[in-house]
């Protein structure tokens, strides 16, 4: 039995012949959101558990990346909108059933809080950058001056210091919501079989935490902390591999639409990039390097860290692009 399908009278851009509504903006944002979630998660977790001195880079320095990552992600998100000037409509409604609405509001709250957190530690940051970058140090000193001189900023920072534990708890919970949200955004789409699996939530959360751990590992200058985060990252990569195996098991045992969707990774057009670049270069190789580190070999931290970050970015591009190709069969 041979089947042919002709569709006449329709050739709509971005929909025919395959859906391609979301371009580079969404995967980039999902990556940056996950990275920010990971950085904030570790910073607040170790602050809350009173281990600031043990993991100083994670708590005081690395979170400075988070507001920048979120800001770039937000710009990408807004650029992705086709009715750009109406973006504020996101904040005139809260829709319980829409993951995107949840995401918009989460970002709206986490963005200012994630700016306050690194400002609390601005003096530590000046010390961190003093030896490496004169320009960054100058900018940080200028900001520090502003925080002391402008009354309202001083008032905000005093308030933030006073209620730092409350801010830490809020950021901790929000970072988990943000990390899960990057996956839930996709898994809520029943119409795209590849996305329609609830494991995408935990998978994106773990992947985001792993990229966060990699960034801390890269930035840290303390041997103990670097080793610890190498170990955290190794553990997260292990969980990620476990979740990926479960995702494929679920797909292979599911309906024909999902079996056909996952065929993209078993001999289809995403096989090479998924297994070659993401799985091997972005998960297995850094994991091996981290295991070598564990056994006392000297591995420069930036190599596994860079691979993990690259893998995380490519993973999101693969899932967003491949998911849009998949569809129900009729």
Partner 1 sequence: MRYAMAMDTAKCVGCSDCVVACQTENNVPIGFCRDWIVENVEGTYPQLEMEIRSERCNHCENTPCVRTCPTGASHVIEGGIVKVTHNECIGCGACIEACPYDARYFHPDGYVDKCTFCDHRVAEGLDTACVSVCPTYSLTFGDLDDPQSPISILLRERKWKTLVPEAGTKPQVYFLI
Which stretches of the chain bind partner 1, using CB under 8 A? 1-16, 19, 21-22, 80-84, 86-87, 89-90, 92-93, 95, 97-101, 104, 188-192, 255, 257, 324, 327-328, 330
Q: Considering the complex, what minimum distance in angstroms separates the CB of residue 38 from partner 1?
A: 24
Q: CB of 67: closest distance to partner 1 in angstroms?
A: 23
With CA atoms as reference, report the closest residue to 305 among 228, 244, 222, 216.
216
Confirm if 231 and 205 have CB atoms less than 8 A apart.
Answer: no
Please, which residue, 3 or 149, has the CB nearer to partner 1?
Answer: 3
Shortest Cβ distance from residue 28 to partner 1 (Å)?
15
User: Using CA atoms, how far apart are residues 52 and 228, in angstroms rounded to an integer?
Assistant: 14
DSSP state of 54: T
Q: How far is the CB of 323 from partner 1 (least distance, A)?
A: 8
CA separation, residue 16 to residues 21, 26, 111, 307, 325 (Å): 11, 20, 37, 35, 10
Q: Which is nearer to partner 1, 127 or 327 (CB)?
A: 327
State which residue, 3 or 53, has the beta carbon closest to partner 1: 3
Cβ closer to partner 1: 16 or 269? Answer: 16
Write the DSSP symbol of residue 87. Answer: G
Taking the C-alpha atoms of residue 237 and residue 231, their distance in angstroms, rounded to an integer, is 10
Number of other residues whose CB lies within 10 A of the CB of residue 126: 17
Closest CB to partner 1 among residues 11, 131: 11
CA distance 229 to 221: 12
Q: Toward partner 1, which CB reaches closer, 257 or 277? A: 257
**How far is residue 301's CA from residue 309's CA, in Å, rounded to a whole number?**
12
The C-alpha angle with vertex 179 and arms to 118 and 309, in degrees rounded to 5, equals 75
Name the minimum Å distance from CB 197 to partner 1: 15
Q: Min. distance of Cβ 40 from partner 1 in angstroms?
A: 23
């Amino acid at each position: 039995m041979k089947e042919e399908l002709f569709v006449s009278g329709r050739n709509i851009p971005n929909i025919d012949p395959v859906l391609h509504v979301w371009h580079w903006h969404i995967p980039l944002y999902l990556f940056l959101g996950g990275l920010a979630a990971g950085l904030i998660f570790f910073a607040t977790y170790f602050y809350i558990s009173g281990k600031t001195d043990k993991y100083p880079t994670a708590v005081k320095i690395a979170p400075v990346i988070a507001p920048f990552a979120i800001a770039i992600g937000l710009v990408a998100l807004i650029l992705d909108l086709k009715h750009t000037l109406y973006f504020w409509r996101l904040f005139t409604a809260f829709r319980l059933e829409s993951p995107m609405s949840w995401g918009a509001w989460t970002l709206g709250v986490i963005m200012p809080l994630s700016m306050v957190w690194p400002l609390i530690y601005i003096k530590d940051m000046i010390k961190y950058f003093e030896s490496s970058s004169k320009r960054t140090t100058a900018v940080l000193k200028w900001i520090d001056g502003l925080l002391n001189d402008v009354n309202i900023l001083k008032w905000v920072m005093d308030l933030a210091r006073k209620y730092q534990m409350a801010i830490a708890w809020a950021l901790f919970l929000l970072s988990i919501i943000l990390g899960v949200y990057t996956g839930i955004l996709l898994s809520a789409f029943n119409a795209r079989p590849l996305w329609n699996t609830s494991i995408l939530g935990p998978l994106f959360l773990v992947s985001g935490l792993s990229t966060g751990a990699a960034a801390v590992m890269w930035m840290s200058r303390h041997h103990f902390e670097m080793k610890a985060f190498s170990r955290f990252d190794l553990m997260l990569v292990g969980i990620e591999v476990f979740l990926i195996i479960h995702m494929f098991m679920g797909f292979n045992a599911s309906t024909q639409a999902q079996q056909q969707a996952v065929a993209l990774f078993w001999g289809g057009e995403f096989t090479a990039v998924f297994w070659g670049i993401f799985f091997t270069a972005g998960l297995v190789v850094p994991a091996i390097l981290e295991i070598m580190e564990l056994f006392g070999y000297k591995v420069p931290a930036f190599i596994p860290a860079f691979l993990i970050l690259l893998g995380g970015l490519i993973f999101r591009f693969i899932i967003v692009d491949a998911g849009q190709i998949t569809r129900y069969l009729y």
